[in-house]
Structure 1
């Protein structure tokens, strides 16, 4: 695998961060672009990138912050171009409006990518119109359990307005892109860690539909949540990123769930993933050190699975970024410092993280989590 990474900041020229000596633009198979929405919407810039890498699939996502090597960027475009020696790629783009629900979309996407020697699917999804839980369910049901799935939902800073995802020139809200990796010589490993702790009493979701919760313990969900937040309720929905919920359904492990939007009219809470009736929920909180420690733990897990890496892709949650504030770089620096060797690192801050738990071969949508995907050709 040979890689080139370049960065463009707003109103500035391109800067090359790294370039392997054998890299050739014409041989690049995949270009991953993580960018602020403003830069991503520059059609001339996109056309120039397509022209520069004529044979590559150009996959783009808007973000809540971009990651390049050991740094977190704002209002930038990070471009990572990859050329594989022993791996074939296939891409698929689907539109939310063309499918009856997110599970159907995920199932269709997986069927389009599912063929012999499929090792890994990397997902970039719209972050506003997609139910991430059922999207993942649709994908996992349609492929072999050994296929490793990871990726994330797009971001839009802290505006929570429109998120953009694209494949080549098809760049717009409501898109979901999947990249299939086909190889018997590509090693892919994933990990995910949060660093959040439960507090307050356990409550039960008593009325919900999909990823929208209307009542908790028979009370209006929004009203109850506001009472917990106190003065911070005035900053909703943004302040909800500081106080996610843990959600446990049946015998499944508890998952962190983030509120994406609120509805004052019906007093409901809209989450990034499924919130089934009967599930139990608790408020969560964290400390800066716990988030950074979780980043180290996620990296240690990757290191146990694979000693060296060509490329590591990070998807971390916008909520972590809001908590860490000026220390956000520290969780990415922790990853870079803990990884063996000098792999190229890219990624972004998202509205939801997708990762496969390697031991259980179980893929989930996460919130408030740092996820890593490591790639190594042998």
Structure 2
């Protein structure tokens, strides 16, 4: 497998670079495309299709290639890989639930390869991250491998999209199903966040809405406990302060915590609306704002993955929560660069609204405030 990365501020720029690459004799047949929602995804998909290149695409809240962060740009990873080793699938919910279409996706994967891995991107389905994991698992089987991210829309929070040729939707899932007997797929979902304070209990919640923590209104609890003030009229203020600096860590016995981001606050009932389900009765702790130790923890887990499962990689795909970018600030490039240097392979990624993957001691599940790193290596 050969991977080449391309980036540019607009359609013409990336097309010109792609044409130059093709003239050199490269023959890609698969494109991983991450771009700002300001761009016309179908314009690019039509062009790539005309060159015999299938498209796995998602809109973002920032893109990066080989450790370099881009703004409102178009990024591509062009792969030359045997077409018998993968299958691209695009599904929309329509009148079905996220679980139903994910279940169908799992069944498609099972019928295609006896040993499959799923790399997925989902649209505006923030309440259904767990349902997507559960659906694929139900359709394929418990030993399924799932990594991916939820599309972004530059923090407009109106409707991030996923796409392929001739298909684009904010209620869709695009999946790259890979034959693991031909291509090694390994990854890690890791965050590096440190917990703070005592364990608390979610005393009332429904789906992704947290009403009370220790029987106190969730918003009031977090503001008082952390000593912060914010304007609850502004959704972006909630994102930039709550989710970026003080995410919840849901504790589970024997496995790594799973992170949950508060995306909005309801000023009437003082609840928090999270980017993933929070189970009533769950034990949680708040998190400290990240420092360089968080980056070191992430890189260390990548190094462990390299030594235990994936010494070499042909390509790296990374899905990193937008909250990490907001909270890490100028430290963010440091994390991206160090992760890419672990394998020293071409890397593409984007800042997402949620991540799919497996932590070191957990199972494949839906995460927030996490980076999900996936490596590909043709056997």
TM-score, scaled relative to structure 1 = 0.89
CA distance in 1 between partners of 2:293 and 2:310 (Å): 24
CA distance in 2 between partners of 1:274 and 1:166 (Å): 25
CA distance in 1 between partners of 2:44 and 2:26 (Å): 22
What is the CA-CA distance between 1:249 and the residue it aligns to?
4.9
Q: Which of 275, 299, 304 is the aligned partner of 2:278?
A: 275
The count of residues paired between Structure 1 and Structure 2 equals 368
Report the counterpart of residue 211 of structure 1 in structure 2.
208
Q: Which of 104, 122, 130 is the aligned partner of 2:100?
A: 104
Alignment of 1:134-213 (within 5 A): 134-213=131-210
What is the CA-CA distance between 1:81 and the residue it aligns to?
1.8
Q: Is the 8 A contact 2:238 2:262 kept in 1?
A: no
Residues 358 and 23 (structure 1), Cα distance of their counterparts in 2 relative to 1, 3 Å cut: farther
What is the CA-CA distance between 1:352 and the residue it aligns to?
1.1
Report the counterpart of residue 7 of structure 2 in structure 1.
7
Residues 298 and 87 (structure 1), Cα distance of their counterparts in 2 relative to 1, 3 Å cut: farther
Q: Is the 8 A contact 2:8 2:73 kept in 1?
A: yes
In the alignment, does 2:327 pair up with 1:323?
A: yes
In the alignment, does 2:214 pair up with 1:223?
A: no
Residues 23 and 232 (structure 1), Cα distance of their counterparts in 2 relative to 1, 3 Å cut: farther
CA distance in 1 between partners of 2:241 and 2:375 (Å): 32
What is the CA-CA distance between 1:250 and the residue it aligns to?
6.2
Residues 298 and 219 (structure 1), Cα distance of their counterparts in 2 relative to 1, 3 Å cut: same
Alignment of 1:19-168 (within 5 A): 23-25=26-28, 28=29, 30-39=30-39, 41=40, 43-51=42-50, 53-54=51-52, 56-85=53-82, 87-100=84-97, 102-115=98-111, 116-168=113-165
Q: Is the 8 A contact 1:134 1:274 kept in 2?
A: no
Q: Is the 8 A contact 1:190 1:358 kept in 2?
A: no
Report the counterpart of residue 314 of structure 1 in structure 2.
318
What is the CA-CA distance between 1:356 and the residue it aligns to?
2.7
Q: Is the 8 A contact 2:126 2:353 kept in 1?
A: no
Question: Could you list the per-position Cα deviations for residues 75-99 of structure 1 after superposition, in whole angstroms to 9, with x for gaps in the alignment?
Answer: 1110112221385222222223432
CA distance in 2 between partners of 1:128 and 1:223 (Å): 27
CA distance in 2 between partners of 1:61 and 1:199 (Å): 34
CA distance in 1 between partners of 2:77 and 2:127 (Å): 26
Partner of 2:263, secondary structure, is strand
CA distance in 2 between partners of 1:351 and 1:291 (Å): 20
CA distance in 2 between partners of 1:138 and 1:252 (Å): 22
Report the counterpart of residue 349 of structure 1 in structure 2.
351
- Once superposed, what is the RMSD of the aligned Cα atoms? 2.5
Partner of 1:189, secondary structure, is strand
Q: Is the 8 A contact 1:87 1:186 kept in 2?
A: no
Residues 200 and 107 (structure 1), Cα distance of their counterparts in 2 relative to 1, 3 Å cut: same
Q: Is the 8 A contact 2:3 2:77 kept in 1?
A: yes
Q: Is the 8 A contact 2:127 2:207 kept in 1?
A: no
CA distance in 2 between partners of 1:250 and 1:103 (Å): 26
Question: Could you list the per-position Cα deviations for residues 223-268 of structure 1 after superposition, in whole angstroms to 9, with x for gaps in the alignment?
Answer: 3223335444223233112110011256654211111222223332
Q: Is the 8 A contact 1:120 1:182 kept in 2?
A: yes
CA distance in 2 between partners of 1:334 and 1:231 (Å): 32
CA distance in 1 between partners of 2:47 and 2:25 (Å): 22
CA distance in 1 between partners of 2:101 and 2:321 (Å): 23
TM-score, scaled relative to structure 2 = 0.88
**Gaps spanning 5+ residues in structure 1: where?**
none
**Gaps spanning 5+ residues in structure 2: where?**
232-236
Q: Which of 294, 297, 301 is the aligned partner of 1:298?
A: 301
Q: Is the 8 A contact 1:291 1:320 kept in 2?
A: no
Q: Is the 8 A contact 1:316 1:348 kept in 2?
A: yes
What is the CA-CA distance between 1:313 and the residue it aligns to?
0.7
Residues 95 and 229 (structure 1), Cα distance of their counterparts in 2 relative to 1, 3 Å cut: farther
CA distance in 2 between partners of 1:281 and 1:175 (Å): 31
**Which stretch shifts more, 89-98 or 203-212?**
89-98
What is the CA-CA distance between 1:22 and the residue it aligns to?
5.6
Report the counterpart of residue 370 of structure 2 in structure 1.
369
